[in-house]
Structure 1
Amino acid sequence: MSKKLILAMFALAAFTLTTNAQNGDGFGIKAGLNYNANGNYFQSIGANAKHPDRNVGYHVGLYGKIGDRLYFKPELVYTQTKSEYGSDALKLQKIDAPLMVGLKILGPVSVFAGPSLTYILDSKFEGISLKDLENEFTIGAQFGIGLNFNGFGVDVRYEKGLSKNYGTVGVSDSRIDTRPDQLILGISFAL
């Protein structure tokens, strides 16, 4: 590729990102880390609950943004999490669809909140698929704070699952709550 073509492509990308940053509308990609714990694990009916240890997971996906000072930001994200219960672990793979409403409060700083719709693709507890999962589709809530600089964004948010969602472990009467309770660090790039 010639240097002129590369410079022209760079100028076009910079113009596009600047335009998107000025009018607020656009779309892009996002990725990040999740510091997650799911709900309690009950080894039998009436037994004391085991509380999970938090663990690091990740997410990757797409977002859209409509508006500038007051904006709507829907996202579609693949998320993988892991919660540990002593020597056992719950691994979840899911599609999350946060629907955030945000407000720029000072320069590049904004706050946002909204529901997060989740579809659980796969759930395993120490290699055993969870059976009789009450719902594959659940609802949670997220809120957070973000910084956005010309198409590059960083945000920190908290998510809490609102829908109780228990699954049966193996053939026993053990059950586990799959609701998330997590801190999410994300970066985003406007396209």
Structure 2
Amino acid sequence: MQKLVISTFVLALLCFNSYAQDGTSFGIKAGLNYNANGDYFESIGDNAENPDRNIGYHVGVFGKIGNQIYFRPELIYTATKSSYDSDDLSMKKIDAPLLIGVKVIGPVSVFAGPSLQYILDTEFDGIDIDDVENDFSIGLNFGIGLNINKIGIDLRYERGFNDNEATFIDNNLGNGIVSRIDTRPDQLILSLSIAL
């Protein structure tokens, strides 16, 4: 019985391996983000307010070079939202993850690498935020992926390396309070990709 189970397991791995995406490819990808940015501070109290997580989305393209060990650059448009009590921080950015991956079992791989991020637009409760410390920042992606034929699905975590605060003056209530918010991403990302 044990030999039958082992034989079936080995046969299943070989079948999965024959259907796994091989070699160099490029394609499109899209998916959902479960995101929260950093803390929000009003200057009068400097008490940090932690964000609630929200669902965002992303669409983009990818390339893949290699097979067992591979390099996968991506170029992605990302829209995220974080909630702070009754206010929302909306961000739109371009992400460029540069991932190194390794196949571990058949079509399953693990990957990690830096993500270059360029902020296109930031809005907090209807206020456009122009004073972001750095429009360009670097984060880290790591995760696990499954590729069968031309279809891939992956789950990854992304985190910005350093604080990237935006400051703005809230004149909505006529108080002119200078506030700060950390725009650094902290998100889970679920993606579906199709090799062309």
Q: Paired residue for 1:190?
A: 195
Distance 1:38 1:155 in 2: 22
Distance 2:19 2:53 in 1: 40
Q: Paired residue for 2:62?
A: 63
The answer to whether the aligner puts 1:73 opposite 2:78 as a matched pair is no
Partners of 1:152 and 1:190 within 8 A in 2: yes
Deviation track 1:7-59 (CA, whole Å, cap 9, x = no partner) reads xxxxxxxxxxx99933x101000000000000000011552100000000000
Q: Paired residue for 1:87?
A: 86
Distance 2:178 2:54 in 1: 26
Structure 2 counterpart of 1:158, one-letter code: Y
Q: Paired residue for 1:170?
A: 169
Partners of 1:28 and 1:62 within 8 A in 2: yes
Q: Aligned in 2, Cα 1:53/1:19: closer, same or farther, shift over 3 Å?
A: closer
Q: Paired residue for 1:139?
A: 138
Q: Paired residue for 1:39?
A: 38
Q: Paired residue for 1:155?
A: 154
Distance 2:162 2:48 in 1: 18
Structure 2: segments with no counterpart, 5+ residues? 1-17, 171-176
Bigger radius of gyration among the two = 2
Q: Paired residue for 2:108?
A: 109
Runs of 4+ in 1 over 3 A off after TM superposition: none
CA drift of 1:188 comes to 0.1
1:179 pairs with one of 178, 184, 187:
184
TM (norm. structure 2) is: 0.85
Distance 2:21 2:192 in 1: 15
Partners of 2:19 and 2:107 within 8 A in 1: no
Q: Aligned in 2, Cα 1:19/1:148: closer, same or farther, shift over 3 Å?
A: closer
Matches within 5 A, 1:5-20: none
Partners of 1:35 and 1:183 within 8 A in 2: yes
TM (norm. structure 1) is: 0.87
Q: Percent identity?
A: 64
Distance 1:156 1:74 in 2: 16
Distance 1:151 1:73 in 2: 15
Residue correspondences, number: 173
Distance 2:132 2:45 in 1: 19
Partners of 2:19 and 2:148 within 8 A in 1: no
